[in-house]
Amino acid sequence: MTWVMTSKKQFYLHDDESLLDGLLRTGHDINYQCKEGYCGSCRIKRIASSHVIDYPFEPLAMIEKDEILPCCCRVQGVIYVNHERIDK
């Protein structure tokens, strides 16, 4: 089970639910367009995580070292994120 912690609330991801879908399900205001790692509009800051965050495929969107793409990253354990919009 994956636990997600934000400044707004804490919740767990359902089986096979993306981080983006979990954030949207729990009322977080997250921008997104493609949901496949191409556009980067959903990028958020990763504050900390108990496990390595990886991607099933290399996303095309450019992200900084402390950013993740919740639409396509794979998370496990506990993750702390800043869900506020990142303007690039």
Calculate the CA dihedral of residues 19, 25, 63, 78 and round it to 10 degrees. Answer: -40
Distance (Å, rounded) from C-alpha 21 to C-alpha 35? Answer: 9
pTM of this structure: 0.92
User: Could you tell me if 43 and 86 are in contact, meaning their C-beta atoms sit under 8 angstroms apart?
Assistant: yes
What are the structure tokens assigned to 47, written together? 């504050």
How many domains does the structure of the chain reveal?
1
pLDDT digits (tens, 9 = 90+) for 20-45: 999 999 999 999 999 999 999 999 99
Closest to 36 (Cα-Cα) out of 65, 14, 79, 69: 69
> For the domain that residue 87 is a member of, what is the CATH number?
3.10.20.30
The stretches in the chain having pLDDT less than 70 are 85-88
**Residue 83: domain span:** 1-88
